[in-house]
Structure 1
C-alpha cells in the first residue's frame, strides 16, 4: 500500500497508476482518492496520482487544527517531491479545486494546469450550509443499499443516475459494519471546518487570478448549489480561454464520466501535452 510521510509526521496513502502526463487528483472535502474511480478508466496517457488527505480514507488522522487547505496543499507538494515530480497537472474536485487555487498562488512553478470540478472562488451560502449540516455526523442508515436508495431519493439535483452508481457511491463514502454505516474520515473534520467558517470568508478571486497562464478547465453541475451561475459567468469573463461546461442533470458534484465532463477533460489534457 503506497504511503509517504509528511513533514509533520503523518503517513498518507496515495495511488500512482499509469504512465504519461502526471495528473494529481485532489478529492472533495470528506472524500478520498476513490472520488475519481468513475473517470479514471477514461483518462488515457496519464500517470494518475490520487491522494487521500490527512484524516481521510486510508491516511493517518492528524490534529484537527491541521485539516486546513494550506496544510493539505503542502501535503500535495510533498507528495510530488516524494515521487520526484517537478510538475503535475491538478484535477481538483470541490475542496481539491480550492487547494489547486492555493497552489497556483504559492507554488505555481509546480503546476502544468488546473481542472476544477464544481468549485470556484465564491461558494454559494446554501451549498455551504448543506455541507455543514451533514459534516462529521455518522449516518443513521445501516447498509450501503439503504444509503444508495436514500441518495437517489433525496439528491434531486441529480437525474438519470442508475441505481448501481448510487450503490457504488455509498460504498465509497461509507464503511458498512455490523453496527451500521461509518464515516470514512475523521469526524473531527467538522470542528476544523466550523471553526474556519466562524471567520470572515476571504476574497478568493486573487487565487483564481493566480492561475493566469495555466491551461484551465471548469466543470459545473448545471444544478449545483455550490458554484452559482453568476460565479461561473465571472470565471469565464476573467478567463475567456477557460474550457467551461455545464453538465446537465448533475448537482454538486458531477461524477466526471459524463460526456460533457469527459470532453472538457480531454480537451484540457490535449492542451498540456
Structure 2
C-alpha cells in the first residue's frame, strides 16, 4: 500500500486521510498543505487505487480488508494514536476502526458518509466504477472525470485538472484511470437493493466526531446527519452548500471547519 506523506516525519501528531471509492490519497493535497505545520499527514492509496497494488481476488475489495490494512499502516507509523479524515469509503473505514475497543483514533472526521448508506446512491456510483475507457489524452480524461463527478460542485478549472492528473496513468493507447476496474465487479454482481444500516457501528464510537455533509448529497441524507448529532458520539455537523457527494476538501471554506475541529483543545 502506497501513501503520500506531508510535514515532519518525526511529528508524533499524525493525521490519516483516506479517500473515496475510486479516488486516491492525492485528493487531500490541499488539506495536507493546510495542516502539515501541525501534523504529520499521511494519505494512503487504499489497495486497488492510486499507486497501491491490485488484488487478484476482486471479491476481497471489502471494508474488513481495508481496515486491516490501515491497522498495519498505523503500526508502521509507530504512533499510539491518530486523527482521521475519511471521505465516503474512507469515512466508513474510519467508522469501523473507531468502533473497535482500544482503537487509536482520537478525533474522527466523516466527509459525507454516515451510518445509513442509501442504496440508490450506491447504484449510481456502481454505474461507472470500472467502466472508464482508455482516454486518448488528458483533456478527454478530464472531461470524463468532470462528467462522473458532477456532485463535487462547480470547481475551478485548476482543481479539475489536479483531480484528473492525479487520477490517471499512461497505458498503451493513451491514459487510464488509476484504479483496478475489478472494483466494479461486486457492484454489478450483487446490486444493493436496500439501504445499509450501520447505526450499531456508529453508536460504538466514543471519540469526538465531525460530519461534513454536502447539502445536495444523495449518499448521506440530511435526517441521518441530524440523527448523528444526537446519537453515538453526538457529532458536530457542518453542511457544505452547493455540493453533493462529496465535498472535495480543496476549498478553504471546506478545510476551515476540519482544521478548527482537529486542533481545538478539549
| TM-score category (smaller protein) | 0.7 to 0.9
CA drift of 1:197 comes to 4.5
Map of 2:244 onto structure 1: 251
Q: Does 1:115 align with 2:104?
A: no
Q: Does 1:220 align with 2:213?
A: yes
| Displacement of 1:201 | 5.8
Cα RMSD after superposing both structures: 2.4
**1:210–1:137 Cα change, 3 Å:** same
1:26-80: CA deviations, max 9, x gaps? 1111122112123221113011011111111111112223211011101001111
For the Cα contact (< 8 Å) 2:107–2:208, is it kept in 1? yes
Query: What's the TM-score once normalised by structure 2's chain length?
Result: 0.87
Residue by residue over 1:170-216, the C-alpha shift from the partner in whole angstroms, topping out at 9 and shown as x without a partner, is 2222225462331211111112344565687653011111212x111
Of 18, 24, 38, 1:45 maps to: 38
Give structure 2 stretches of 5+ with no counterpart: none
Counterpart of 1:208? 202
Between 1:177-186 and 1:152-161, the stretch displaced more is: 152-161
Which secondary structure state, in structure 2, belongs to the residue aligned with residue 237 of structure 1? coil
User: How do residues 1-273 of structure 1 correspond to structure 2 at under 5 angstroms?
Assistant: 12-19=1-8, 20=11, 21-43=13-35, 44-62=37-55, 63-139=57-133, 141-152=135-146, 155-177=149-171, 179-195=173-189, 197=191, 202-212=196-206, 214-238=207-231, 241-271=234-264
Q: In structure 1, what is the Cα distance between the partners aligned to 2:146 and 2:130?
A: 21
Q: Is contact 1:88–1:112 with CA below 8 Å preserved after alignment? A: yes
Q: Contact 1:117 / 1:254 at 8 angstroms: preserved in 2?
A: yes
Which secondary structure state, in structure 1, belongs to the residue aligned with residue 166 of structure 2?
A: helix
Q: What is the rounded CA distance, in whole Å, between the counterparts of 1:101 and 1:80 in structure 2?
A: 15
SS of residue paired to 2:210? strand
CA pair 198-266 structure 1, distance change in 2 beyond 3 A: closer
For the residues of structure 1 that align with 2:145 and 2:259, how far apart are their CA atoms?
A: 29
What secondary structure does 2:66 align onto?
A: helix
Describe the shift of the 1:221–1:198 C-alpha distance in structure 2 as closer, same or farther (beyond 3 A).
Answer: closer
The 1:75/1:257 distance shift into structure 2, 3 A limit, reads same
Which stretch of the first structure deviates more once superposed, 66-75 or 222-231? 222-231
